A and B are shown apart, each in its own frame.
Chain A
Amino acid sequence: MSNVKTASQNPQSQVASNGTKKKRGPWREVWRRMKKNKAAMVGLLIILILILSAIFADVIAPYGYDEQSLVDRLQTPNSKHLLGTDNFGRDIFSRIIYGSRISLQVGFIAVGIAAILGGTLGAIAGYYGGKLDNVIMRCIDILLAIPGILLAIAIVATLGPGLRNVMIAVGIGSIPSYARIVRASVLSLRDQEFIEAARAVGANDFRIITKHIIPNSMAPIIVQATLGVANAILSAAGLSFLGLGIQPPTPEWGAMLSNARHYLRDYPHIATFPGLAIMITIFGLNLLGDGLRDALDPRLKS
């Protein structure tokens, strides 16, 4: 990590004219540390590009995602089709751009489901402890005992394939990790003196959880969520590859890969580009997640 620029960013140097320091929350501090981490910034850049391309897919993509042109089928990359075309003559570049919408949607919504459900369960288990904790955590253990992808396949097989069911399946599959992380951080916070101090001034459980415990346990959840988005995208792609996920002609990266495997020997580019898209996205999310973890870890605070 480079520490060259630290001198000019001394916290004490930000003093307003009347002597009162401007309010600088711990999140500003985190951002300051993140900026120094080049890898994390690369990750952030990749994710930003991805988000932008998802939002402006209609503008960026030169063709529609289901625009077939059998005359132009199985073309290698050229000036007309930047990344070539597939067996139906659909533009691969356009499909990847549109595919980012699906992947991001799956990633964020699945993680949202998992983080909210898992986080709530973990917080209740950690805060109240005792029997309730035992019951919740044993259920979580049962979920954890089943391999994630197997669980997702089972759920999709029951609910039927499709975007919504994939999100539910992937979301449920990652509930355990959030429940455990939140429970662990609530446990470590529960007996802290500032919680006791809040209780001493008469704060109720609701205030203690929302004002004291949640803000202090955000760091590991954010890291887990960032890395979790990567996992969710990968799981969804896996499910689609197996034909259980998003159905054609919707351009899902995993489904594109699956479709391309028949042409792998003669036209490897059809499989390569969606594969690269998945890889770069996961790479970016992992870089960002690692960077966030470093920036949020108080032990690395200088």
Chain B
Amino acid sequence: MQERLLEVRNLKKYFSTKKGLLHAVDDVNFFINKGETLGLVGESGCGKSTTGRVVLRLLEATGGEIIFEDKDILQFSKDEMREMRKEMQIVFQDPFASLNPRMSVSEIIAEPLRVNKIYKDKIDMSKRVAELMDTVGLAERLVNTYPHELDGGRRQRIGIARALALKPKFIVQDEPVSALDVSIQAQILNLMDDLQKEFSLTYLFISHDLSVVKHVSDRIAVMYLGKIVELSDYKSMFKEPKHPYTQALLSAIPVPSIEVKRERIILEGDVPSPINPPEGCRFYGRCRYRQPICNEKTPELEDIGNDRFVACHFTNNLKEATV
């Protein structure tokens, strides 16, 4: 068995809104092994970015445990957490919003070093910045440029360099390529892959793009309305999706061949509101296999063998609903 770097248990994050409690992340469980990439997919607003931020304590969790290297970081004090941040970093989605427009490239990359007082000597620090820029493939001449002078791909490289500066073990990738052109997406994804191998990093890769997630992940967790509905290695998930929602998602991936004929599962209706969600399966209203029990009891994420987890009452015997 591989060593676990991070384990999340019963993680909850509720936001109080005027209409009631918004269950952004509701009882989520998963773990990530050292050196692997866990993909976290789901549609907009399902709570995947919130999960990423709660794991880093950029947002305070409502409940649950986050075990990082055998320690529950939710119990950490502010100072302990500041120390912990050297181990866990984040790359943001929007490379235009995540860089301070008033700071130059070198200032942005040096910020983590400066904040944590890593180097006493300025020359050492600028050497490290140059090294980081080289690692992420930024030309040395760009040290003194400002973010607005660079394109999206380069900006995202700055963000990656900043995340790497403290030599973390774990990086949350919050949709790092969804704001980029497709050609640049590939470059950035390859860069991340190389970095993972070079520095033996562990990633939590958040995305709504299944093809990207398939490309980078060892295991994939599918999220729907604040809950993980299916979690398994990418091969078996793509070969044989178990949860009705995963099945519908995968059937929506275009296949670049005219010979392949397959069934498209069209989901009907809208995603229900995450505010004060009722008891029962969150997917109930849109599931074509739904049974009366689904509306009464919330299915738990269950181990179905081979490290696969599914949250459905009828995992292995789905029958068309007779409604």
Q: Which of A193, A196, A198, A212 has the most CB of B within 10 A?
A: A193
Q: With A20-B144, A21-B145, A23-B104 in contact, do A197 and B159 touch (Cβ < 8 Å)?
A: yes
Q: CA–CA, A216 to B99, complex, Å?
A: 12
Instruction: Please determine whether A215 and B162 come into contact, CB atoms closer than 8 angstroms.
Output: no
* B101: A residues at CB distance < 8 A: 26, 216
- A residues 174-216 in Cβ contact with B at 8 Å: 192-194, 196-203, 207, 211-212, 215-216
Which interface class (under 10, 10 to 19, 20 to 34, 35 or more) fits A?
Answer: 20 to 34
A128 CB, nearest partner CB in chain B, Å = 15
The residue that B89 contacts in the complex, of A18, A200, A215, with Cβ under 8 A, is: A200
A169 CB, nearest partner CB in chain B, Å = 35
* A211: B residues at CB distance < 8 A: 100, 103
Q: CA–CA, A92 to B144, complex, Å?
A: 53
Q: With A25-B146, A193-B97 in contact, do A203 and B92 touch (Cβ < 8 Å)?
A: no
* B145: A residues at CB distance < 8 A: 21
Q: CA–CA, A22 to B144, complex, Å?
A: 6
* A22: B residues at CB distance < 8 A: 144
Instruction: Please determine whether A194 and B146 come into contact, CB atoms closer than 8 angstroms.
Output: no
Q: B133-163 CB contact bits vs A (8 Å, 1 = yes)?
A: 0000000111111101100000000010010
Does chain A have a CB within 8 A of B231?
no
Q: With A21-B141, A202-B112 in contact, do A215 and B58 touch (Cβ < 8 Å)?
A: no
A130 CB, nearest partner CB in chain B, Å = 13
Instruction: Please determine whether A201 and B112 come into contact, CB atoms closer than 8 angstroms.
Output: yes
Does chain A have a CB within 8 A of B303?
no
Instruction: Please determine whether B102 and A26 come into contact, CB atoms closer than 8 angstroms.
Output: yes
Does chain B have a CB within 8 A of A249?
no
Instruction: Please determine whether A193 and B98 come into contact, CB atoms closer than 8 angstroms.
Output: yes
Q: With A22-B144, A201-B111, A201-B162 in contact, do A11 and B149 touch (Cβ < 8 Å)?
A: yes
The residue that A23 contacts in the complex, of B53, B102, B144, with Cβ under 8 A, is: B144
B73 CB, nearest partner CB in chain A, Å = 14
Instruction: Please determine whether B92 and A202 come into contact, CB atoms closer than 8 angstroms.
Output: no
Nearest residue, chain A, Cβ from B95: A193
Q: A81-107 CB contact bits vs B (8 Å, 1 = yes)?
A: 000000000000000000000000000
Does chain A have a CB within 8 A of B7?
no
Instruction: Please determine whether A200 and B90 come into contact, CB atoms closer than 8 angstroms.
Output: yes
Nearest residue, chain B, Cβ from A192: B97
B54 CB, nearest partner CB in chain A, Å = 13
Q: A4-46 CB contact bits vs B (8 Å, 1 = yes)?
A: 0000000100000011111111100000000000000000000
Nearest residue, chain A, Cβ from B111: A201
B171 CB, nearest partner CB in chain A, Å = 10
Instruction: Please determine whether B111 and A203 come into contact, CB atoms closer than 8 angstroms.
Output: yes
Q: CA–CA, A11 to B86, complex, Å?
A: 36
Nearest residue, chain B, Cβ from A191: B97
B99 CB, nearest partner CB in chain A, Å = 6
- B residues 209-260 in Cβ contact with A at 8 Å: none
Instruction: Please determine whether B102 and A216 come into contact, CB atoms closer than 8 angstroms.
Output: yes
Does chain A have a CB within 8 A of B27?
no
- A residues 97-126 in Cβ contact with B at 8 Å: none
Does chain A have a CB within 8 A of B82?
yes
Instruction: Please determine whether B99 and A201 come into contact, CB atoms closer than 8 angstroms.
Output: no
* B315: A residues at CB distance < 8 A: none
Q: A268-301 CB contact bits vs B (8 Å, 1 = yes)?
A: 0000000000000000000000000000000000
Does chain A have a CB within 8 A of B191?
no
* A200: B residues at CB distance < 8 A: 56, 58, 85, 89-90
Does chain A have a CB within 8 A of B115?
yes
Does chain A have a CB within 8 A of B273?
no
- B residues 15-71 in Cβ contact with A at 8 Å: 53, 56, 58
Q: B198-212 CB contact bits vs A (8 Å, 1 = yes)?
A: 000000000000000
* A212: B residues at CB distance < 8 A: 100
Q: Which of B98, B116, B166 has the most CB of A within 10 A?
A: B98
B138 CB, nearest partner CB in chain A, Å = 12
B101 CB, nearest partner CB in chain A, Å = 7
Q: With A202-B115, A207-B115 in contact, do A21 and B144 touch (Cβ < 8 Å)?
A: yes
Q: CA–CA, A18 to B141, complex, Å?
A: 8
A177 CB, nearest partner CB in chain B, Å = 24
Instruction: Please determine whether A197 and B144 come into contact, CB atoms closer than 8 angstroms.
Output: no
Instruction: Please determine whether B141 and A196 come into contact, CB atoms closer than 8 angstroms.
Output: no
Does chain A have a CB within 8 A of B302?
no
* B53: A residues at CB distance < 8 A: 196
Q: CA–CA, A26 to B99, complex, Å?
A: 14
Does chain A have a CB within 8 A of B300?
no
Contact sample, A vs B, 29 pairs, CB 8 Å cutoff: A19-B141, A20-B140, A21-B142, A21-B145, A22-B144, A25-B146, A26-B101, A193-B93, A194-B97, A194-B99, A196-B53, A196-B58, A196-B90, A196-B98, A197-B92, A198-B100, A199-B58, A200-B56, A200-B85, A201-B85, A201-B115, A201-B166, A202-B112, A203-B111, A203-B115, A211-B103, A212-B100, A215-B102, A216-B101
